[in-house]
Structure 1
């Protein structure tokens, strides 16, 4: 848990129209080609995605296990695996690693965002212990306590997708070390449904992120001026 609290932050917000996930990208070197891959956002199945805080190598093992479980369920029952069932399956695996000597627990926390016919849009958080819970808005990783308090203040029951986008960016703006947010410092994705009812997982490109971040930086600067 201590290792995860120092890892790049990840934030999730649930709305009636979908779920927004955002995560801080830690750039270790300016020579790294970061735009080619996402290291924080993963698609588990057509209807569910995850954001990661912690050791990426540990996350990869669990991501593969989750994808395999989702495909096996689809193969057996010919319908998508319910979100909570997939989350619980992964948490059972994590819990097993805390139970016996000779095994190190997975040093990773997840935010799961998905949709199923039972409960609609859902957001779950899971810990290395195997604990998990459903949330309306939550944060994991660095400065998660500060992030949670902003979410508690600003979250509304009838929040729209646009407001949810602004909220996750605001939270990262406040909790990340950098003075101003730029598109290369974070990853943003959403899980929504299109007109035909198909679940759509979308990772925002740098071009799509830039106007959102510029608006957030301007709002933050205006808020600071009015408070001073």
Structure 2
């Protein structure tokens, strides 16, 4: 039945649905899980690497984590080629605002602008929606630390903790159960590891299968953010200290 209505993004089905947007969201559900957690000291982003190879030389750079400007980082789930186009657009928007007003762009304003671009690709013939969702971690003077997510339709929303990608519903259930408003940054990191350990398809948990990033405030310079994409050895140490590996052993026994 859907074949009559899914050839273009400009055609609504009798139920009022845009099938092309739903197809884009289905592509995202096949991607690795990405989790964002807001804490009192910052924001944590953690991603599952769906495909890994020992032959891949990425110079330590992250595949699903990107720095947008001095105050924002993001994680992606879906088609990374589509994500690259949108991330370049975000960076240009952020720098234009900084050049014009001599201050960093507010987080929600930047997200709104890129969501306007995404929404435009759902209403013009000859275009297809971007097959990628984002988790945005940001900081500004008005609302301090913030966590947002956006999808191919152009919708965005703010969260305390959320996930995108594969096993999304299972991750959301675990986050609802264990999230607390007074989490420290370290506690949020441990929670992210715990959730990923239970939702990832992989049998073992290590830095080959994870990417990790945090956004926090500098202890030396007031109001300056610290954007950190973690190295492999730091991720392995975090996994070890979190006690997740011991829990998995007990479950196996």
- TM-score interval, normalised by the smaller of the two chains: over 0.9
1:214 and 1:169 map into 2 onto residues whose CA distance is 10
Cα distance in 1 between the residues matched to 2:182 and 2:161:
13
> Where does structure 1 differ by over 4 angstroms across 4 or more consecutive aligned residues?
none
Tell me the CA shift for residue 217 of structure 1: 2.9
| 1:33-182 → structure 2 map (5 Å cutoff) | 33-34=57-58, 36-182=60-206
Secondary structure, aligned partner of 2:208: helix
Pick one of 182, 202, 208 that aligns with 2:228: 202
Instruction: Count residues with an aligned counterpart.
Output: 226
Q: Which residue of 1 aligns with 2:18?
A: none
Q: Report Cα offsets for 1:63-83 as digits up to 9, x if no partner.
A: 000000000000011110000
1:212 and 2:238 correspond:
yes
Q: Which structure has the greater CA radius of gyration? A: 2
Q: Is the 8 A contact 1:83 1:115 kept in 2?
A: yes
Provide the residue aligned with 1:192 in structure 2: 216
Let me know the Cα RMSD of the aligned residues. 1.4
Give the superposition deviation at 1:31. 1.7
Q: Which runs of 5+ in 1 are unaligned?
A: none
Tell me the TM-score normalized by structure 1: 0.95
Residue 118 of structure 1 and its aligned partner are, at CA, apart by 1.0
**Distance of aligned partners of 1:167 and 1:223 in 2 relative to their CA distance in 1, 3 Å threshold:** farther
